[in-house]
A and B are shown apart, each in its own frame.
Chain A
Amino acid sequence: MTTISVTVNGTVHKATVEARTLLVEFLRQQLNLTGTHVGCDTSQCGACTIHLNGRPVKSCTMLAVQADGQAVTTIEGVAKDDGMHPMQAAFKECHGLQCGFCTPGMVMTALGIAERHKTDQLDETTVRHELEGNLCRCTGYQGIVNAVLLGAKNMGVKVA
């Protein structure tokens, strides 16, 4: 067993984990943050996407011990106060979800897209390309692409 200290959504959590505990297992089972989903467990679907030090990564393909001393943001930590984050609101507005299973990962990836393009311009082709790590079985993606563009725009990103 290894003792780790991970800052999750701004709060420092000290915990004891097995070396083989995945980060997503730690988040869901030890911290009860079940917003982060496991869709495939094989690094393909992106439902488990969280931010590690501000950058989207797949938490099913990372050990909890690798996050020791790092900062993690999950979907639960995205909105300020009680309302929705502009990216979450855009998914609602644009019908960017149906069953919602992929949505937490989609939003975390979308926030990464907005962050990477905050100083240039974002277009639909770029959004489609940068959503490649996230699968959705319901929507056909059009609503998701629209949501990412609207959410980014409402966050102040220039959108073509």
Chain B
Amino acid sequence: MYSFDYIKPTSVADAAAKRAGNDDASYLAGGMTLIPTLKQRLAQPSALVDLGAIPDLKGISVANGVVTIGAMTCHADVAASADVRKHIPALADLAASIGDPQVRNRGTLGGSIANNDPSADYPAAIVGFNATVHTNTRTITADDFFKGLFETALEPGELVVKVSFPVPKRAAYAKFRNEASRYAVVGVMVAETAHGIRVAVTGAGACVFRMPDMEAALSKTFAPDAIKAIAVSADNLNTDLHATAEYRANLVNVMARRAVAAIA
């Protein structure tokens, strides 16, 4: 690891101010991605602004049909939350499927979506539930947040504060896990929201995307067979040592049907 300065602010405003004056600085959440990156010397930040001591970034609340989760809330706390389990069980299941217990005790919602790994689970929930990302300067809708491979709508220094998830009528997440890392080879969130059916796919492409054909078909008939014939193109899907693009294309359909079956 290269050396860096370390700053531990106690408020969102202070964190943003420390980061604003310092283009080469980086926020530190649970460090589950950032610390391995630093160890490999793939990044050389001048300073880390640790978000671990900011009370406003933590916690889960429910009001008016919306579950709001602070950016620094760890996956284990989302998985174990009675409120999340009661209102959006599919979100609790998703959080419980991330990594392993030690990773879930450190990895955070904010870090996961800011990083936008193509195989990360949370993006499927953000887009599937049509959630809203609240930053220190604005709100960003789900469909506008994820831009591409490890790329989001966040400006340099913009801080994810919390995410609000409108409670869906029903939802399920089906994930084909990489057995070694537990990341999604393909994960599909199917949700019936107040504004219709949404199908969000992670793991398959450069970043999360929706399947409009499946959404339309499921709006007419909500059953696995309604989407069975919808072919998924392998163009632009990921090929790596875990799976080819063709295999992932097939998995998208299989996982979508499994999610529908879990709900229907």
* Residue with the highest number of chain B CB atoms closer than 10 Å, among A58, A112, A113: A58
Cβ-closest chain A residue relative to B32: A61
Chain B interface extent, by class: 20 to 34
Known: A2-B6, A19-B5. A130 touches B32 (CB 8 A): no
B225 at the interface (CB under 8 A from A): no
Shortest 10 CB-CB distances between A and B: which pairs? A133-B100, A19-B6, A132-B100, A20-B1, A133-B102, A55-B105, A58-B102, A61-B35, A57-B105, A56-B102
Residues of B within 8 A of A (CB): 1-6, 8, 28, 31-32, 35-36, 38-39, 48, 50, 52, 76, 99-103, 105-106, 180, 182
Contact B50 A65 (CB under 8 A): yes
Nearest-CB distance from B46 to chain A (Å)? 11
CA distance A19 to B5 in the complex (A): 7
Given A43-B32, A63-B31: A20 touches B102 (CB 8 Å cut-off): no
Which residue on chain B has the smallest CB distance to residue A55? Answer: B105
* Closest chain B CB from A107 CB (angstroms): 13
Contacts known (A19-B5, A19-B6); A109 close to B52, Cβ less than 8 A: no
Q: Which residue of A lies closest to B104 (CB)?
A: A133
| A-B CB contact pairs (8 Å), 27 listed | A18-B3, A19-B3, A19-B6, A19-B48, A20-B1, A20-B2, A20-B38, A43-B32, A43-B103, A46-B102, A56-B102, A57-B105, A57-B106, A61-B31, A61-B32, A61-B106, A62-B31, A62-B106, A63-B6, A63-B28, A65-B8, A66-B50, A132-B100, A133-B100, A133-B101, A133-B102, A134-B100
Specify the main secondary structure of chain A where it touches its partner.
mixed
Q: How far is the CB of B158 from chain A (nearest CB, A)?
A: 22
- Closest Cβ of chain A to B101, distance in Å, is 5
Q: How many A residues touch the partner, as a band?
A: 20 to 34
A55 lies within 8 A of B76 (CB): yes
Check: A42 CB closer than 8 A to any chain B CB. Answer: yes
| A-chain residues with CB within 8 Å of residue B180 when the two chains form the complex | 44
Least Cβ distance of A65 to chain B in Å? 5
- A109 near B1 with CB under 8 A, answer no
For the complex, give the distance between the alpha carbons of A22 and B38 in Å. 11
Q: How far is the CA of A92 from the CA of B105 in the complex (A)?
A: 28
- Residue A33 interfacial (CB < 8 Å): no
User: Bound state CA distance, A56 and B100, in angstroms?
Assistant: 10
Question: How near does chain B come to A4, taking the closest CB pair, in angstroms?
Answer: 10
Residues of chain A with a CB closer than 8 A to B6's CB: 2, 19, 63, 65
- Separation of A57 and B74 alpha carbons in the complex (Å): 12
Task: Determine whether the beta carbon of A57 is less than 8 Å from that of B2.
Answer: no
Apart from A46-B102, A55-B76, A109-B102, what 11 extra A-B contacts exist at CB < 8 Å?
A18-B3, A19-B5, A43-B36, A43-B103, A61-B36, A66-B28, A109-B101, A113-B101, A116-B101, A133-B101, A133-B102
**In whole angstroms, how far apart are the Cα atoms of A41 and B1 in the complex?**
12
The answer to whether A94 has its CB under 8 Å from any CB of chain B is: no
User: Taking A19-B5, A132-B182 as contacts, is the C-beta distance between A63 and B101 under 8 angstroms?
Assistant: no
Per-residue CB contact flags for chain A residues 31-53 toward chain B (1 = under 8 Å, else 0) read 00000000001111010010010
A66 to B48 alpha-carbon distance, docked (Å):
11
Q: Known contacts A55-B105, A62-B106, A66-B50: does B32 contact A20 (CB below 8 Å)?
A: no
In this complex, the member of B1, B5, B100 whose beta carbon has the largest number of chain A beta carbons within 10 angstroms is B100
Question: Are A41 and B39 in touch, CB under 8 angstroms?
Answer: yes
With A57-B105, A58-B102 known as contacts, the answer to whether A20 contacts B31 (CB < 8 A) is no
Distance in angstroms between the alpha carbons of A68 and B6 in the assembled complex:
12
Q: Which residues of B contact A56 (CB under 8 A)?
A: 101-102, 105
B124 to chain A minimum Cβ distance, whole angstroms, is: 20
CB nearest to B106 among chain A residues? A57
In the complex, the chain B residue whose C-beta lies closest to that of A41 is: B39
